């Protein structure tokens, strides 16, 4: 079997010097200035510096004058320098085939890792390629029909393709976080993601990167099949041997199930097939949107952020009546987008381009949904009860949304006060918004905690509760209400041999990087399984 490794060579005798500087935002943007500061700090001539590369960059805005902390790795003349990053994938055209269902981050990174390990991924994606998908998304933004298999959730790259592209994760212990970032850079991401404290790619850059990853898969012998929706599982004696796509059967040594958290038909298919799934807690709420200048003034303690500071963000969390209320997927300089996958729903999400140059800042603002909240649905829906509860929330939003993709909204100050909004401010949400008393029709367990949480956040961030801001309904796809259970050691489904649930849709990740890392871990588990069974 041929094994792969990615190469970022540094001579083991090289001991680069590390320098940390605290600079003004303008100084940190001026390479000539900070290189001169490095030379001065080290007591050497600037001409003696062969290479100085940034390894960490963060903004400290706690004081009135924001500062940038910059850490650099410095190589002096005649010292061996690190060689450029290089990935050397093998060709797997004629090797053992493994089915990967879903081309989101988990599926893509599982496929890349399988190639590294010498296996041929057959990547099945229900939606279309990026280029075709763009046309369907444009139609949704115009208020047109929703293609249930080609939208913001489904298609090449999954929900991650047309997302904000934030790369923060708390799952760094689960895999090689740096390698995941390096993989994205190799496929076209800005190298700044390697050192930014809060790395971000941008919705304008992600489609090309995703397409490049798919190209890598196919160029090295794997297959990527679009418009290939899985309609059944081929299981014999508790072992999966393939999947059905329309009238065809696709066979493989194992199946990686990485369909994302919006693939409700997959949960229903598993459940109806007698393959174990389980209801789990999740979170739902709203999108909250402010003028970006307001968030900037709150976070940077100044009227204007100026030329050198990026659009400000925030991260908020508090316990309200025994449950967490928190911001989620905060998008500075971003847009609210229609994220429904069915015309009976109203669902919103957020994203921002690489420049984060929109006049608006939005974030999910959600609260915990626990098993007891949908216990009344268990008798009819069993382990799909949470899924049905989520659907009901989205259908409620649709009922109060007006026509097509128009979303229900309320001024933040009115939402907290329990008042009607007779008019609404400007919004980034292209299909448009309509006034609605969200606080009245949302389940009390959600609306009351959100109101209390927003009030709390308003005391922490003066100006957060304002007539200028709105809450937009509904943010319901933060995570899956269903988990596909797997063994902790083998990462295989607890009942079906050869089935490997992975990523957000299986309940084991919560973002681009954590899903990517989980996909890699599962690919390693698949390789161990194939070796043990002589595939």
Which residues on neighbouring strands pair with residue 382, listed in sequence order? none
Which residues on neighbouring strands pair with residue 57, listed in sequence order? 70, 196
Element (H, E) at 379: helix 378-381
Task: Give the pLDDT confidence of 266-307 residue by residue, as tens digits.
Answer: 999 999 999 999 999 999 999 999 999 999 999 999 988 989
Residue range 11-29: mean pLDDT, rounded: 84
Tokens for 73, please give them: 């790795």
- Closest listed residue to residue 221, CA positions, set 108, 95, 128: 95
Tokens for 84, please give them: 């450029």
Structural domain contains residue 46: yes
The pLDDT confidence band at residue 510, using thresholds 50, 70 and 90, is confident
Instruction: Give the whole-angstrom CA distance, residue 114 versus residue 130.
Output: 23
pLDDT at 168: 66
φ/ψ of 432, rounded to 5, equals: 105, 165
For residue 82, pLDDT over 90 is answered with: no
Q: In CATH, what number is assigned to the domain containing residue 241?
A: 3.50.50.60
Residue range 72-86: mean pLDDT, rounded: 82
* ∠ Cα 265 511 53 (to 5°): 150
Residues 434 and 495 in one domain: no
Instruction: Give the whole-angstrom CA distance, residue 285 versus residue 475.
Output: 5
Instruction: Give the whole-angstrom CA distance, residue 34 versus residue 46.
Output: 11
The pLDDT confidence band at residue 4, using thresholds 50, 70 and 90, is low
* ∠ Cα 264 225 155 (to 5°): 45
Please say which residue of 78, 105, 128 terminates a domain: 78
pLDDT at 220: 98
With b for 16 or more beta-carbon neighbours within 10 A and e for fewer, the 137-148 pattern comes to bebbeeeeebbb
Task: Give the pLDDT confidence of 455-471 residue by residue, as tens digits.
Answer: 999 999 999 999 999 99
- Closest listed residue to residue 353, CA positions, set 208, 473, 494: 208
Structural domain contains residue 92: no
Can you list the positions of beta strands (E) in 219-309?
223-225, 230-236, 239-245, 248-251, 255-257, 278-279, 282-291
Structural domain contains residue 90: no
Structural domain contains residue 1: no
Residues 254 and 144 in one domain: yes
Which residues on neighbouring strands pair with residue 122, listed in sequence order? 99, 223
Distances from the Cα of 508 to the Cαs of 157, 264, 265, 395, in angstroms?
18, 16, 19, 27
Instruction: Give the whole-angstrom CA distance, residue 476 versus residue 16.
Output: 47
What is the DSSP annotation of 482-522? EE--B-TTT-SBSSSBTEEE-SGGGTS--SHHHHHHHHHHH
Residue range 222-239: mean pLDDT, rounded: 97
Residues 311 and 459 in one domain: yes
Residues 182 and 167 in one domain: yes
Q: Residue 227: how many CB atoms within 10 A of its CB? A: 16
Residue range 404-416: mean pLDDT, rounded: 96
Residues 268 and 289 in one domain: no
**Torsional sign, CA 263, 383, 365, 198:** negative
Instruction: Give the whole-angstrom CA distance, residue 14 versus residue 17.
Output: 9
pLDDT at 169: 62
Which residues on neighbouring strands pair with residue 256, listed in sequence order? 100, 500
Residue range 484-501: mean pLDDT, rounded: 98
Question: What is the 8-class DSSP label of residue 401?
Answer: S
Instruction: Give the whole-angstrom CA distance, residue 148 versus residue 133.
Output: 12
Structural domain contains residue 357: yes
Burial of 293 (0-12, 13-18, 19+ CB in 10 A): middle
Q: In CATH, what number is assigned to the domain containing residue 47?
A: 3.30.70.2700
Question: What is the 8-class DSSP label of residue 506?
Answer: G
Q: Which value, in Å, is the radius of gyration of the alpha carbons in the chain?
A: 24
Number of domains in the chain: 3
- The fraction of the chain above a pLDDT of 70, given in percent, is 96
Instruction: Give the whole-angstrom CA distance, residue 425 versus residue 290.
Output: 10
The pLDDT confidence band at residue 9, using thresholds 50, 70 and 90, is very low
Task: Give the pLDDT confidence of 331-380 residue by residue, as tens digits.
Answer: 999 999 999 999 999 999 999 999 999 999 999 999 999 999 999 999 99
Furthest C-alpha separation in the chain:
76
Task: Give the pLDDT confidence of 309-323 residue by residue, as tens digits.
Answer: 999 999 999 999 999
Residues 295 and 387 in one domain: yes
The pLDDT confidence band at residue 11, using thresholds 50, 70 and 90, is very low
Instruction: Give the whole-angstrom CA distance, residue 269 versus residue 275.
Output: 9
Q: Residue 18: how many CB atoms within 10 A of its CB? A: 11
Q: Residue 508: how many CB atoms within 10 A of its CB? A: 25
Structural domain contains residue 4: no
Task: Give the pLDDT confidence of 107-159 residue by residue, as tens digits.
Answer: 999 999 999 999 999 999 999 999 899 999 999 998 889 999 999 999 999 98
The pLDDT confidence band at residue 173, using thresholds 50, 70 and 90, is low
Tokens for 294, please give them: 């307001």
* ∠ Cα 198 201 204 (to 5°): 145
Residues 238 and 383 in one domain: no
Residues 224 and 363 in one domain: no
For residue 1, pLDDT over 50 is answered with: no
Instruction: Give the whole-angstrom CA distance, residue 192 versus residue 424.
Output: 38
Q: Looking at 108-117, 160-169, 243-252, which range is the least confident one?
A: 160-169
HEC letters along 58-96:
EEECCCCCCEEEEEEEEEECCCCCCCCCEECCCCCCCCC
pLDDT at 508: 95
Residues 374 and 495 in one domain: no
Residue range 236-254: mean pLDDT, rounded: 97
- pLDDT, the chain, mean: 93
Which structural domain, as residue segments, surrounds residue 414?
279-475
Distances from the Cα of 159 to the Cαs of 5, 107, 206, 274, 498, in angstroms?
28, 12, 11, 28, 26
Distances from the Cα of 11 to the Cαs of 18, 49, 99, 182, 212, in angstroms?
16, 18, 39, 19, 30
pLDDT at 2: 43
Q: Using an 8 Å Cβ cutoff, are 161 and 132 in contact?
A: no
Residues 267 and 291 in one domain: no
pLDDT at 170: 57
Task: Give the pLDDT confidence of 422-450 residue by residue, as tens digits.
Answer: 999 999 999 999 999 999 999 999 999 99
Residues 491 and 344 in one domain: no
Q: Using an 8 Å Cβ cutoff, are 427 and 472 in contact?
A: yes
pLDDT at 511: 86
Residues 295 and 433 in one domain: yes
Instruction: Give the whole-angstrom CA distance, residue 339 versus residue 406.
Output: 12
């Amino acid at each position: 079997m041929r094994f792969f490794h990615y190469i970022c060579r540094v001579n083991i005798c090289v001991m680069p010097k590390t320098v940390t500087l605290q600079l003004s935002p303008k100084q940190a943007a001026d390479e000539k200035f900070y290189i001169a500061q490095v030379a001065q700090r080290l007591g050497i001539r600037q001409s003696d510096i062969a290479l100085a590369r940034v390894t960490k960059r963060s903004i400290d805005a706690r004081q009135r004058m924001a500062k940038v902390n910059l850490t650099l790795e410095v190589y002096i003349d005649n010292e061996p320098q690190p060689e450029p990053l290089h990935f050397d994938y093998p060709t797997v055209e004629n090797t053992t085939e493994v089915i990967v269902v879903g081309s989101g981050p988990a599926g893509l990174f599982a496929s890349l890792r399988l190639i590294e390990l010498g296996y041929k991924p057959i990547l099945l994606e229900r939606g279309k390629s990026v280029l075709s998908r763009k046309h369907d998304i444009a139609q949704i933004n115009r208020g047109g029909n929703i293609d249930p298999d080609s939208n913001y959730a489904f298609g090449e790259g999954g929900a991650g393709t047309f997302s904000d592209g934030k790369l923060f994760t708390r799952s760094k212990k689960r895999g090689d976080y740096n390698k995941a970032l390096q993989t994205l850079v190799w496929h076209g991401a800005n190298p700044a993601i390697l050192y930014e404290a809060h790395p971000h790619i941008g919705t304008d850059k992600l489609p090309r990167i995703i397409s490049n990853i798919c190209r890598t898969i196919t160029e090295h012998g794997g297959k990527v099949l679009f418009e290939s929706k899985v309609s059944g599982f081929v299981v014999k004696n508790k072992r999966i041997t393939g999947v059905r796509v329309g009238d065809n059967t696709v066979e493989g040594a194992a199946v990686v199930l990485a369909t994302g958290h919006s693939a409700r038909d997959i949960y229903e298919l598993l459940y109806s097939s007698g393959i174990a799934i389980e209801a789990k807690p999740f979170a739902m709420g709203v999108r909250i949107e402010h003028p970006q200048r307001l968030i900037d003034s709150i976070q940077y303690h100044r009227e204007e952020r100026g030329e050198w500071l990026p659009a400000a963000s925030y991260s908020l969390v508090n316990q309200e009546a025994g449950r967490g209320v928190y911001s989620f997927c905060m998008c500075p300089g971003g847009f609210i987008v229609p994220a429904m996958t069915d015309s009976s729903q109203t669902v919103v999400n957020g994203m921002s381009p690489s420049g984060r140059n929109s006049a608006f800042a939005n974030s999910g603002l959600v609260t915990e949904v626990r098993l007891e909240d949908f216990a009344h649905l268990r008798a009819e829906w069993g382990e799909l009860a949470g899924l049905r509860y989520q659907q009901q929330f989205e259908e409620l939003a649709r009922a109060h949304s007006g026509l097509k993709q128009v979303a229900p909204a309320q001024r933040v100050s009115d939402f907290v006060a329990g008042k009607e909004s007779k008019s609404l401010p400007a919004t980034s949400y292209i299909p448009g918004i309509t006034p609605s008393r969200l606080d009245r029709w949302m389940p009390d367990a959600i609306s009351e905690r959100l109101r209390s949480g927003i009030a709390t956040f308003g005391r922490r961030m003066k100006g957060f509760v304002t007539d200028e801001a709105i809450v937009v309904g509904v943010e319901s796809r933060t995570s899956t209400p269903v988990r596909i259970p797997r063994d902790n050691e083998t990462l295989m489904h607890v009942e079906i041999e050869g089935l490997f649930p992975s990523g957000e849709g299986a309940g084991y990740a919560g973002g681009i990087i954590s899903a990517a890392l989980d996909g890699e871990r599962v690919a390693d588990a698949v390789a161990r399984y194939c070796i043990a069974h002589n595939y």
